[in-house]
Amino acid sequence: MYDILIVGGGTAGLTAAIYARRAGRTVLVLEGTAFGGQITSSHLVENYPGVPAMSGMDYADALTNQAKALGAEVKFGMVTAAEKTENSFMLTVRKKTYEGRALILATGAKHRKLGLPGEDALVGRGVSYCATCDGAFFRDKNVAVAGGGDSALQAALYLSGICSGVTIVHRREQFRAQQANVDAARARENIRYALGCRITGLLGEEALTGVELTSEKGEKNQLQVEGLFVEVGQEPDNSAFAHLAALDEGGYFAAGEDCLTKTPGVFAAGDCRAKALRQLTTAAADGSVAATAACRWLDGQ
């Protein structure tokens, strides 16, 4: 029996583990893919206050090691079921079950797809959702980046140092990214733009050979590229916990800044929670709030 079970080993979950351990609670963190979460795919983290610029992987390693050094147990495993008992919560990972008195949901979010025919079949054959993971496969080739936010601009900047040409495809004429990222992209000679366009088709069967672009006026043309990096936002995967924590219309946990859910003893933290801004700083803040709230709730039991 653990004091606190944490689902998700990203910034929110690991920060929660650190705070809970410092409060003397026993903690188990369960992560289904990679400790550190999506930040592991970022080639550079330079906006975390007081921390020198470092790769996302280095940041994730440091955070994971900090939680482990404080005594938090961390295990790989995808939680497939969650159940509330009379005095605890039970999580199922394959054929194993783990029991805890309180539960923190820090499940994060995943990359949103374009939803085009053939997209899934071309993943790993030209379609990617991680520039830092797959960019090296497209050295000296022409690629496209779909999206207009910070993640899209950062992906384009990273790829511009590897690929011969990068085209940013964005459905609007203006970017949603921070001006610093826009300015940096504008300064790269091998970054081009297809603004006011949507990607409406993927070309190629065995491998990607290009994309179909459709303008706001309905005009279509083809862009010949060997790689497409999709950066059009995120979406949560919280349905397995909907009976414990209510979801908003976007599928995010309906929990406020106090991280409280509809179920006493269950707290939501990080990108999986309904919020206005999803950044490392807000994930860390959620983790500290959720852990502190969980500890106070345990004190009252």
Domains and CATH numbers, the chain: 2-109+236-299 (3.50.50.60), 111-230 (3.50.50.60)
| Residue range 139-168: mean pLDDT, rounded | 96
DSSP 134-168: HGGGGTTSEEEEE--SHHHHHHHHHHHTTSSEEEE
Q: How many CB atoms lie within 10 A of CB 227?
A: 23
Calculate mean pLDDT across residues 201-206: 95
The answer to whether residues 73 and 27 touch, using CB atoms and an 8 Å cutoff, is: yes
43 pLDDT more than 90: no
Residue 17: its pLDDT value, please? 98
Q: What is the mean pLDDT of the chain?
A: 94
Give the pLDDT of residue 200.
Answer: 97
What positions carry a catalytic annotation? 130, 133-134
CB 126 within 8 A of CB 227: yes
| Of 211 and 43, more confident | 211
The length of the chain is: 301
Residue 127, judged by CB atoms within 10 A of its CB (0-12, 13-18, 19+), counts as buried
Q: How far is CA 148 from the centre of its chain?
A: 17
45-69 residue pLDDT tens: 888 899 888 988 999 999 999 999 9
- The pLDDT value recorded for residue 193 is 97
> What's the CA gap between 97 and 184, in Å, rounded?
49
Mean pLDDT (whole number) for 116-130: 92
Burial class (CB in 10 A: 0-12, 13-18, 19+), 219: exposed
Tens digits of residue pLDDT in 135-150: 989 999 999 999 999 9
Is the pLDDT at 113 greater than 90? The verdict is yes
- What pLDDT, in 10s, does the model give residues 205-253? 999 999 999 999 999 999 999 999 999 988 898 999 999 999 999 899 9
The predicted pLDDT at position 73 comes to: 98
Rounded to two decimals, the pTM is 0.77
Q: What pLDDT shows up at residue 87?
A: 92
